[in-house]
Amino acid sequence: MTKLAQMGEATIYEPAGDQPRQERRHGAYQSRSLAECITNVSTPKGSLPIVKAMLTTACERNCYYCPFRAGRSQMKRITFSPDELARGFDTLQHANQAQGMFLSSGIIKGSVTTQDKILDTAEIIRNRYHYQGYLHLKIMPGVEYDQLYRLMQLADRVSVNLEGPTQERLSALAPKKDFQRELLRMVQLAAEIRRTHPYEQLAGTVTQFVVGAVGDTDQELLSLSHRLYRHYGLTRAYYSGFSPVIQTPFENLPPTDPLREHRLYQASFLLRDYGWKVEDLPFLSDGNMQLELDPKRAWAEKHLRAAPVEIMTASRQQLLRVPGIGPMGAAAILRARRLGHLTDLSHLRQLNIRTPEQGAPYILLDGHKPAIQPGLFS
């Protein structure tokens, strides 16, 4: 328990759930209490208090941005045996302090050896302690097929950090890692495992990028994300804005604007959930998106101001292009207009479209522009 409490601050660098921005603590860890290694995380099984832990904070790799990089003396090195960590988690779980675990690790004695220790921990949790709840397990770079398959059997979610969108960007971040063989191949193998074992309940796959440290562009990040969503069944991509860490080669680089991270998530969801293509996104000439407007609103400003969408006749895909209308709102509109006419923003609000004013400049309601309160839009 003492070692877990000491590890608390180390786990802030890894998002574990569906609301990564909410997982971050503001301010330094002070108490060294167990509460600091437990985070409320949004998961496919609901919001759960999750233990975020690492088997070891030691690492033989020298990634330029990473607080765990080899030789960094300011990182406290803590190591668990699989039995020790599994026992600690079981204690927390039975005390109702935790209802899931996110487990990562630094790399020691190679990726295969490290992955075996993560697997051993998960096996003990599942088989000795008979825990059937939420496990999110990290894929180490370049591990073996059988290791990945077993990991996907034991976990609800598995993740591999691609870090950069290309080999060039990755080399600038983590010079000892191979983009295709060690990282991207893991996502491809996970998709292959799911295809060849269609009747097994296997973990979904997520990945994480480090944004803004080495010149990566939004277009590069989102193009790769889109390919992974479409062809390899990626559940989601995390975009972690770079934050400098002292005693690393990148300690003097500026942090990434948090708003850029937010815009990447918005665009990523358009690609994953709304049927958008990368070519639809409003990139500027430098390959990045503007920060002032969210990408859906920026697209609507360019395409729908002069050609508003008629709510009474639009297809589902056309409705999803309107700011403020999501998949559930589009479905509600399609149902409601079979029963009558939608002629006012209040009608949309009655369909649980919470902010129909967002879409008001870009729509027609039964042939008419909706009445907008003066001064609501600039």
pLDDT in tens, 164-183: 999 999 999 999 999 999 99
**Quick one: 254 exposed, middle or buried, by C-beta within 10 A (0-12, 13-18, 19+)?**
exposed
194 and 308 assigned to the same domain: no
pTM: 0.90
Query: DSSP state, 256?
Result: P
Please determine, for residue 227, whether its predicted confidence score (pLDDT) is greater than 60: yes
Please determine, for residue 7, whether its predicted confidence score (pLDDT) is greater than 90: no
- H or E element in which residue 377 lies: none
Contact present, 324 and 349 (Cβ < 8 Å): no
Please determine, for residue 26, whether its predicted confidence score (pLDDT) is greater than 80: no
Separation of alpha carbons 197 and 300, rounded Å: 42
Residue 201 lies in a domain: yes
Q: Where are the alpha helices (DSSP H) in the chain?
A: 2-7, 20-23, 82-94, 111-123, 145-154, 167-173, 185-196, 218-232, 258-273, 295-303, 316-319, 327-336, 345-350
For 101, the domain range is: 2-253
Could you give the angle at the alpha carbon of 93 between the alpha carbons of 88 and 96, nearest 5°? Answer: 130
Separation of alpha carbons 136 and 203, rounded Å: 9
46 and 148 assigned to the same domain: yes
Please determine, for residue 305, whether its predicted confidence score (pLDDT) is greater than 80: yes
The CATH code of the domain that includes 12 is 3.20.20.70
312 and 249 assigned to the same domain: no
Among 21-25, 96-100, 196-200, 238-242, which is the least confidently predicted range? 21-25
Average pLDDT value for the chain: 90
Please determine, for residue 377, whether its predicted confidence score (pLDDT) is greater than 50: no
310 and 236 assigned to the same domain: no
Q: 37 falls in which pLDDT band (50, 70, 90)?
A: confident
314 and 228 assigned to the same domain: no
Domain count, the chain: 2
Separation of alpha carbons 330 and 285, rounded Å: 32
214 and 105 assigned to the same domain: yes
Residue 265 lies in a domain: no
97 and 191 assigned to the same domain: yes
Could you give the angle at the alpha carbon of 199 between the alpha carbons of 196 and 204, nearest 5°? Answer: 75
Residue 280 lies in a domain: no
221 and 359 assigned to the same domain: no
- Residue-level pLDDT at 206: 96
Q: Where does a domain end: 253, 281, 316? A: 253
238 and 332 assigned to the same domain: no
Residue 350, classed as helix, strand or coil, is helix
Model pLDDT for residues 181-224, shown as the tens digit of each residue: 999 999 999 999 999 999 999 999 999 999 999 999 999 999 99
Contact present, 205 and 238 (Cβ < 8 Å): no
- Residue-level pLDDT at 198: 94
Characterize the bridge pairing of strands 236-241 and 100-104. Answer: unpaired
Q: 35 falls in which pLDDT band (50, 70, 90)?
A: low
Residue 103 lies in a domain: yes
- Residue-level pLDDT at 214: 97
Separation of alpha carbons 42 and 26, rounded Å: 18
72 and 186 assigned to the same domain: yes
Model pLDDT for residues 263-284, shown as the tens digit of each residue: 999 999 999 999 999 999 999 9
Residue 9 lies in a domain: yes
Q: Where does a domain end: 235, 253, 271? A: 253
Residue 170 lies in a domain: yes
167 and 79 assigned to the same domain: yes
Neighbour tally for 96: CB within 10 Å: 8
317 and 191 assigned to the same domain: no
Residue 375 lies in a domain: no
Please determine, for residue 18, whether its predicted confidence score (pLDDT) is greater than 80: no
Mean per-residue pLDDT, 240-261: 94
- Residue-level pLDDT at 47: 82
Q: 376 falls in which pLDDT band (50, 70, 90)?
A: very low
Residue 267 lies in a domain: no
**Which residue has 């969210």 as its token pair?**
294
Characterize the bridge pairing of strands 46-54 and 38-43. Answer: antiparallel
**What do you get for the CA distance between the two ends of the chain, in Å?**
55
- Residue-level pLDDT at 29: 41
Please determine, for residue 259, whether its predicted confidence score (pLDDT) is greater than 50: yes
